Structure 1
């Protein structure tokens, strides 16, 4: 059976000493999503994740996972959830394979074929007989995900899985996460404070800031906001704007007297410049401006601070 919503929260709130650490958060994660849960350190990401995993109780609100109320179906729901929060637990004096086998026995899962598949998925097949205490940090993180995959969960929740990794380890982790929905049919929620990381693996993003979910949408919408724009400085803003609007372009004039166009095609920009010049408008400057995703993220969090 295909589920619509894997995670759906309504008014999710957690208070400590009467202070809202998480404030009325409404998460919406569909089956097959890689959901990037983004926010600065201390924004409320880990507290939210701990509530989703049943580790702490919400002060207010409801959590539905697999379209069931977590508070009423906690044990059955969590059987279908794998997680990696903070540092993975493992036995350093055992090999990677032995770790998976031992934990599989403890959880009474006992599927050796799946352990073989997990080792392939996490890229540790060649290192399965190496003692885990000799693993690199990236290998230990991937083993932690492998342990979370035992029992074939339908949902995997990862809290800052790239923290402390070198660039090579970050790339390996990113490649692992992006293939999980297709290879194992898993929905993934991954938290991070780096938008650049989320951009490279998520298809949907939620941004939390000071406990508030200030943005939630497909990652393409954020990328659309970062699309390049053309800035024009001319001698007569009013007439130039009329000319451009008559040609069908949507324009915006900022406080510095610069016309902004949502356009980046070279031929169209050349046409615009020629049109203005032929109408006796002096074009002083044409500039392409593109906001990075990080700038958009900072703008969103700044707007939230201004509102509060």
Structure 2
């Protein structure tokens, strides 16, 4: 398995207390890695360490099998990034800003600039000065600058900030396209689970500077569960019937309501079994645990049943 970004016990202290505490993360080549955590969890600090903007106190960083030290810089040619609030030459146009960026990155294909501006939805604004841009337009330009040189790796810190719902959808589609068509590896941070879950291949959950979970998305979906809620005429008898027949985990919520977990049969099968054995079923509903609920629980220290 090829990892393009790895950290081993990465730690950063600005005072005695670590801001980042022994984080070991592994990002596969060609995947979208979603970095999730509340504001202040340390996501930006880790991204800055990957880009050598902040030096680690201890631990190791390897990018494309190269160990990164304080003086490393050549590896940055293969990385596009958006960290915190993007800075531009305000008196210059969007096109000119990207042209300058390509020049100092040593990228020669200036014809690619117009294509990238079109991709991020700024084709009508390429001649407008950046000082006239809205927050959302600046964010689109920052994404354009990150991808214009066709880097192998994208590091994007909260890239949907300032975007409207249409813009957010377009960014999601753009990132998937960059992965599929260009094979880019993308590390994207957010504190909004719903904006990550639809595109990420792997999730890393960071809280208080510690990586509390790193898990493939397909495994994560298997860990979240559904609960079947039933309103029945006899909860005690229904509980006994379901546990004996299906080895289900059944809880009596009140005098008429059951919650059934780990029931691998369809709700219709459970209902039929109860009715055939003399229990009336008045209501049936499937309650799904969302990924957002799962992450909130993990960040708050809760345990999940697999």
Tell me the TM-score range normalised by the shorter chain. Answer: 0.7 to 0.9
1:177 pairs, out of 172, 175, 178, with 175
| 2:152 aligned residue | 154
For the residue of structure 2 that corresponds to 1:61, the secondary structure is strand
Contact 1:8 1:29 in 2 (8 A): yes
| 1:223 aligned residue | 221
Contact 2:228 2:261 in 1 (8 A): yes
- 1 CA distance for matches of 2:302 and 2:66? 32
How far residue 98 of structure 1 moved from its aligned partner, in angstroms, is 1.2
How far residue 285 of structure 1 moved from its aligned partner, in angstroms, is 5.6
| 1:260 aligned residue | 260
For the residue of structure 2 that corresponds to 1:79, the secondary structure is helix
| 1:15 aligned residue | 13
Of 175-184 and 186-195, more deviation after overlay is shown by 175-184
- 1 CA distance for matches of 2:6 and 2:251? 39
Describe how 1:89-108 pairs up with structure 2 within 5 A: 89-108=87-106
Alpha carbons of 1:72 and 1:45: their partners in 2 closer, same or farther (altered >3 Å)? Answer: closer
Describe how 1:1-308 pairs up with structure 2 within 5 A: 4-71=2-69, 74-232=72-230, 234-236=235-237, 237-245=239-247, 251-254=248-251, 256=253, 258-262=258-262, 268-280=266-278, 286-303=284-301
- 2 CA distance for matches of 1:93 and 1:183? 34
* Aligned residue pairs, count: 296
Alpha carbons of 1:273 and 1:9: their partners in 2 closer, same or farther (altered >3 Å)? Answer: same
Contact 2:249 2:263 in 1 (8 A): no
Q: CA RMSD in A?
A: 2.6
- 2 CA distance for matches of 1:304 and 1:50? 30
Contact 2:226 2:261 in 1 (8 A): no
**Unaligned segments of structure 2, at least 5 residues:** none
Cα deviation, 1:132-181, whole Å, max 9, x if unaligned, reads 22233222112112222243311010111112333233223223222211
For the residue of structure 1 that corresponds to 2:160, the secondary structure is coil
* TM-score, reference length from structure 2: 0.86
- 1 CA distance for matches of 2:25 and 2:187? 11
For the residue of structure 1 that corresponds to 2:125, the secondary structure is coil
- 2 CA distance for matches of 1:201 and 1:240? 38
- 2 CA distance for matches of 1:166 and 1:151? 26
- 1 CA distance for matches of 2:152 and 2:274? 58
Contact 1:80 1:153 in 2 (8 A): yes
Of 146-155 and 226-235, more deviation after overlay is shown by 226-235
For the residue of structure 1 that corresponds to 2:212, the secondary structure is strand
